[in-house]
Structure 1
Amino acid sequence: MPSSFNVQNAAGYEQLMGRWSRTLAPLLIDFAGLADGERVIDVGCGTGSLTFALPKAADLAEIVAIDYSPVFVAAARKRNKNRRITIQEADACALPFDDGRFDRAMSLLVLHFVPEAGKAIGEMRRVVRPGGVVAAAVWDHIGGMPVMRMALDTMAVLDENARELRSRYCFQPMMQPGEMKKSFVKNGLTEVEEASLLIRMNYKSFDDFWEPIAAGEGPLGKYVATLNPAQKAETDAAVRAAYEAGRPDGPRSFASVAWACRGVVP
């Protein structure tokens, strides 16, 4: 099942989101738990933000990372120096592994881009042994991502298509309070808990924020790529004004919240 996330190149993704995924990864690991000797699967590894954080947290026997995007898989493989980590292309909704193969399955910032997110949760449960843990985190787009809402709300004033994008972006799968927990329970997981994870996104300047989006990365970038030169110039200026908020360009810090959920395989 392909992801709805738009990726042009790994470097652009790193600037757009990878650096923040790396900041969030240890929080998900702490929430999910981890123990020496375990076998773990990272479902939707991207460029490896969670994958490469896992061996820093415990002496694991094996880490398997999968992603649907060949761009991400190639980038993660290039970074990999750990013989216990293997990275491959695979579908989160049809994991190519035996039942109960892993002690834990984790997914960082992926499920909201999977059209059949519930099916992916079911697959994570299937490949984890009884007593093992399934855990995932997704951004709270509607209420917990002020920097992206700032850009989207600004663009929505200018263009009806941006208003449609905002509606889709804010209500992607697994983002509403209790939604992921309900899906975990529906897929047979027990002792299900939901929490919020908080990081800050610190930008050096407007360009540090806007450059990957202007280059076409991510959902906002996909929209920006459809604009004609005049529309793009107007959008760039309006979002810059929102970022600067009447002060000179420079560093800005935005709180960002992810929903997290974990459950135990019975």
Structure 2
Amino acid sequence: MSGGDVWEVGDAYEAYVGRWSRLVAARFVSGLGQEPGLRWLDVGRGTGALSAAIPAPARVVGVDPSLGFIRNGRDVVNGDGTALPFGSAAFDVVVSGLALNFMPDPAAGAGEMARVARDGATVAAYVWDYGDGMQMMRHFWDAAAQVDPAAAEGDELKRFPICRPEPLRELWAGAGLRDVTTGVIEIPTVFADFDDYWTPFLGGQGAAPAYAARLAEPAREAIRQTLRDRLGGGPIELTAAAWTVRGVKC
């Protein structure tokens, strides 16, 4: 992963965004409208939120570069999304959740997803809306920038320009997919209190927690207090949005 991101510890990831990504995954899979019994590939499987949302009796294979994540699942292969270890036309549905932007070459990743899909197969993905849509992260980075101007270098909004509808559409079209469409999934993210919001940022998993882990304690505490003043004690009712893209293998 790029930019100092850390993706190895499933429990810490679950507390940070895993609990929310499961809600997005369920909506995403339902929206694809695929028939049962197909062969699915989940690229960038992570902790398995997307794979778990795929209904039986489909066969689901996952691929992920993180050894820490693949230890927690069956039918999971350690591999790179930009060089998938599968033959061409091997899957009926190829999907990726919250991983495309972390690939060193997203265009190569999209091309590989198209390559391993059979003719007529659906190829689809989703990524967080790192602008105003993913509010828990947006609040963090805005507060961090107030304390540390250098924080902007870690902000996913700046780092991942592909996480918008038009760049995603262009990525899919560039991979040779047809009937390309984009959309958005929005879910509630309700935190019981401020600690429920803040503590996951101390787990080291993901861009914002990795940045927070590198800070000296006074700077980290200044960010915490800025957020506490802004969000209050709770409950904290926010929303998270993910951009989706889908196409059909020609």
Task: State whether TM-score is above 0.5.
Answer: yes
> Which ranges of structure 1 fall in alignment gaps of 5 or more residues?
81-85
Q: Which runs of 4+ in 1 moved over 4 A?
A: none
* 3-state secondary structure, aligned to 1:95: coil
Query: Structure 1 pair 117/12, CA: closer, same or farther in 2 (3 Å)?
Result: same
Matched, 1:22 2:16: no
Aligned residues: percent identity?
34
Matched, 1:206 2:212: no
> 1:182-206, CA deviations, whole angstroms, 9 ceiling, x for partnerless residues?
1100110001111111111111111
Q: How does 1:85-104 map to 2 (within 5 A)?
A: 86-104=75-93
Query: Structure 1 pair 216/199, CA: closer, same or farther in 2 (3 Å)?
Result: same
Q: How does 1:185-204 map to 2 (within 5 A)?
A: 185-204=173-192
CA distance in 2, matches of 1:8, 1:20: 18
CA distance in 1, matches of 2:31, 2:245: 8
CA contact (8 A) 1:142 1:171 kept: no
Q: Where does residue 226 of structure 1 map in the other structure? A: 214
Q: Where does residue 265 of structure 1 map in the other structure? A: 249
> 1:12-57, CA deviations, whole angstroms, 9 ceiling, x for partnerless residues?
10000111111001111123232112100000111110111112xx
Matched, 1:145 2:134: yes
* 3-state secondary structure, aligned to 2:27: helix
Matched, 1:109 2:98: yes
| Aligned amino acid, residue 216 of structure 1 | G
| Aligned amino acid, residue 59 of structure 1 | P
* 3-state secondary structure, aligned to 1:262: strand
Q: Where does residue 241 of structure 1 map in the other structure? A: 229
How far is 1:176 from its partner? 2.2
> Which ranges of structure 2 fall in alignment gaps of 5 or more residues?
none
CA distance in 2, matches of 1:106, 1:20: 18
CA distance in 2, matches of 1:9, 1:28: 24
* 3-state secondary structure, aligned to 1:132: strand
* 3-state secondary structure, aligned to 1:115: coil
Q: Where does residue 33 of structure 1 map in the other structure? A: 33
CA distance in 2, matches of 1:188, 1:23: 30
